[in-house]
C-alpha cells in the first residue's frame, strides 16, 4: 500500500496540470494539430455506481472509475486507487501520465487508471473484498490481459490484486493470472515487484548524480512518504552511503540532521503505526519536511506537493519524483530557474510499471525469472531511458520533465500515426 500526504484539492485540478504538461511538449515537438487533438483526450472513461452490503446490513452505493487514455502502443496499464477524494479528473490525469510513463521507458503499453471513492482505512477486510469483487465485475467490460491490466496504487495492495484476478478468473471459467500485476508470488506475482518503483528511482538518481558530479556517499536525502516507494527508496539510498535526514508519512514528518536509520524507522512504524515520535528525531510538518536542508529530495507521496508557494524554499540540488505528479508546472519553472535538477515522475517512478510488464510477460509465458535477472533488466531499462531523456533535454535546452514528455509523446504519436485513423 502506498503512503501519501492528503490530497489538497485547493490546488490545481490534476487533469489541467497533465494537459498543460502535454501541451508544452507538443509545442516543442511542433506536433500536428490533429495528432494533438487525439492525444489530448482520453479514449475511454467508464464511471460505475455499485452497491455493497456493509457489516451493519445497510447497502451503500460506491462510485468507481476506469479510464483508458491511449492504447496505440499496447494494452492499457495502470493502478487502481481507493481514496475518499478520488475524482474523474484525477483518474484521467493519472491515465495520461501512465501513457507517457510506458512510452518513455519503451514498454508496449498504453495508459489507464482506476479508482473507487472510499476510505479503505475505515473498512473491514471483508468489506474491502466485497467492494473489490463488485468493482471488478463492473469494470470487467474494459479489463483483460490483452486489453487493460490493473495494478496496485494508493489504498490497494497485492491482496486487492488477488481478489481482482480471482473474480475475473471466475467469470472467465479458467485462471487468468495476467489480468493484473502486483499480485502475491503464490499466484503468479513477480520477484522484485515490491521494491521496483524505489529501485528504478534509485537507478535514475545514480545516473543523475553522475551527470551532476554529486557524490552519493554522504549526500543528505529527504523522503516524503514512507509507504512502498518511500521506505524502499530510503533504504536503498542508505545502502549507497547517503544520509537520510528527513522522512514522513500521513501523520507527519521527522528530522535528524545526523541521519535516520530507515530500517529502525520501518520497525518503529510497524509497531506504532507512524514514523512520528521516533526516539532521537524532531517532529516537522509536511511543508517543513520539503524545505529541509538537503542534497536530494524524493517526493514519494501524492500529487500537488511542490507548488509556487514552496518551490522557492526547496534547497535540494536534485528532486527525484517517486510519486505521481507531485510538482506543479509553476514550481517546475521556479526549480529549473534555480538550477535544481528534476527527475520527472514519468521517468523516475517507472520502475514499478517496468517490473509489472516483466510480471505480465512471465504470466503469459508461464516462465518465471530470478530476482537478480529482474533487477538487471530493470537497471538496463532505467539507465537507457534516463539517458534518452537527458539527451533530449540537452539537445533542446529544456528541463527534464519537458524532455521526458517529448520522448514519450513522440513515441505515442508515431505509433498512432503508423496505425492510422480507423476506419
The rounded distance, in Å, linking the Cα atoms of 304 and 18 is 12
C-alpha 116 chain-centroid distance: 17
Q: Which three cell numbers stand for residue 139?
A: 469494470
Strands 76-83 and 148-152: parallel
Cell 495492495, residue located? 157
Closest to 67 in 3D by CA, of 101, 85, 87, 42: 42
Spatial distance between the Cα atoms of 229 and 237, rounded to a whole number of angstroms: 12
| Active-site option among 113, 183, 235, 317 | 113
DSSP 87: -
Segment (H or E) for 120: none
For residue 258, indicate whether it is catalytic: no
- Residues present in the chain in total: 423
- 64 phi and psi angles, rounded to 5 deg: -135, 165
Q: Which of 352, 337, 354, 336 is nearest to 400 (CA)?
A: 336
> How far apart (Å, rounded) are the C-alpha atoms in residues 403 and 397?
9
The residues that are catalytic are 113
Amino acid at each position: 500500500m502506498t503512503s501519501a500526504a492528503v490530497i489538497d484539492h485547493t490546488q490545481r485540478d490534476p487533469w489541467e496540470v497533465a494537459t498543460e504538461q502535454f501541451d508544452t511538449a507538443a509545442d516543442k515537438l511542433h506536433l500536428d494539430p490533429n495528432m494533438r487533438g487525439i492525444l489530448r483526450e482520453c479514449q475511454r472513461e467508464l464511471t460505475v455506481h455499485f452497491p455493497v452490503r456493509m457489516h451493519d446490513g445497510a447497502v451503500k452505493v460506491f462510485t468507481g472509475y476506469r479510464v483508458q487514455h491511449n492504447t496505440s502502443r499496447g494494452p492499457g496499464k495502470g493502478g487502481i486507487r481507493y481514496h475518499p477524494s478520488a475524482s474523474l479528473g484525477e483518474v484521467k490525469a493519472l491515465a495520461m501520465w501512465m501513457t507517457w510513463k510506458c512510452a518513455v521507458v519503451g514498454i508496449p503499453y498504453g495508459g489507464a487508471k482506476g479508482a473507487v471513492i472510499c476510505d479503505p482505512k475505515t473498512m473491514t477486510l471483508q468489506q474491502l473484498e466485497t467492494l473489490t469483487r463488485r468493482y471488478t465485475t463492473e469494470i470487467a467490460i474494459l479489463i483483460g490481459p490483452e486489453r487493460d491490466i490493473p495494478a496496485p496504487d494508493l489504498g490497494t495492495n497485492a491482496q486487492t490484486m488477488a481478489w481482482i484476478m480471482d473474480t475475473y478468473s471466475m467469470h472467465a471459467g479458467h485462471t487468468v493470472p495476467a489480468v493484473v500485476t502486483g499480485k502475491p508470488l503464490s499466484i503468479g506475482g513477480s520477484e522484485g515487484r515490491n521494491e521496483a518503483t524505489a529501485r528504478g528511482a534509485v537507478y535514475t538518481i545514480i545516473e543523475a548524480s553522475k551527470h551532476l558530479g554529486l557524490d552519493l556517499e554522504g549526500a543528505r536525502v529527504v523522503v516524503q512518504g514512507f509507504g512502498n516507494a518511500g521506505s524502499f527508496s530510503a533504504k536503498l539510498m542508505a545502502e549507497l552511503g547517503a544520509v537520510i535526514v528527513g522522512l514522513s508519512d500521513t501523520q507527519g514528518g521527522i528530522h535528524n540532521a545526523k541521519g535516520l536509520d530507515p530500517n529502525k524507522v520501518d520497525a518503529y512504524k510497524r509497531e506504532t503505526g507512524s514514523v512520528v515520535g521516533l526516539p532521537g528525531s524532531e517532529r516537522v510538518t509536511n511543508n517543513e519536511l520539503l524545505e529541509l536542508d538537503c542534497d536530494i529530495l524524493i517526493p514519494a507521496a501524492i500529487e500537488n506537493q511542490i507548488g509556487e508557494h514552496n518551490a522557492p524554499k526547496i534547497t535540494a540540488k536534485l528532486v527525484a519524483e517517486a510519486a505521481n505528479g507531485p510538482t506543479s508546472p509553476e514550481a517546475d519553472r521556479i526549480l529549473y530557474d534555480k538550477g535544481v535538477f528534476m527527475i520527472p515522475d514519468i521517468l523516475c517512478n517507472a520502475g514499478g510499471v517496468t517490473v509489472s510488464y516483466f510480471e505480465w510477460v512471465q504470466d503469459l509465458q508461464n516462465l518465471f525469472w530470478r530476482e537478480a535477472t529482474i533487477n538487471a533488466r530493470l537497471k538496463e531499462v532505467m539507465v537507457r531511458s534516463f539517458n534518452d531523456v537527458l539527451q533530449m533535454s540537452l539537445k533542446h535546452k529544456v528541463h527534464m520533465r519537458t524532455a521526458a514528455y517529448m520522448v514519450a509523446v513522440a513515441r505515442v504519436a508515431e505509433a498512432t500515426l503508423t496505425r492510422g485513423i480507423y476506419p
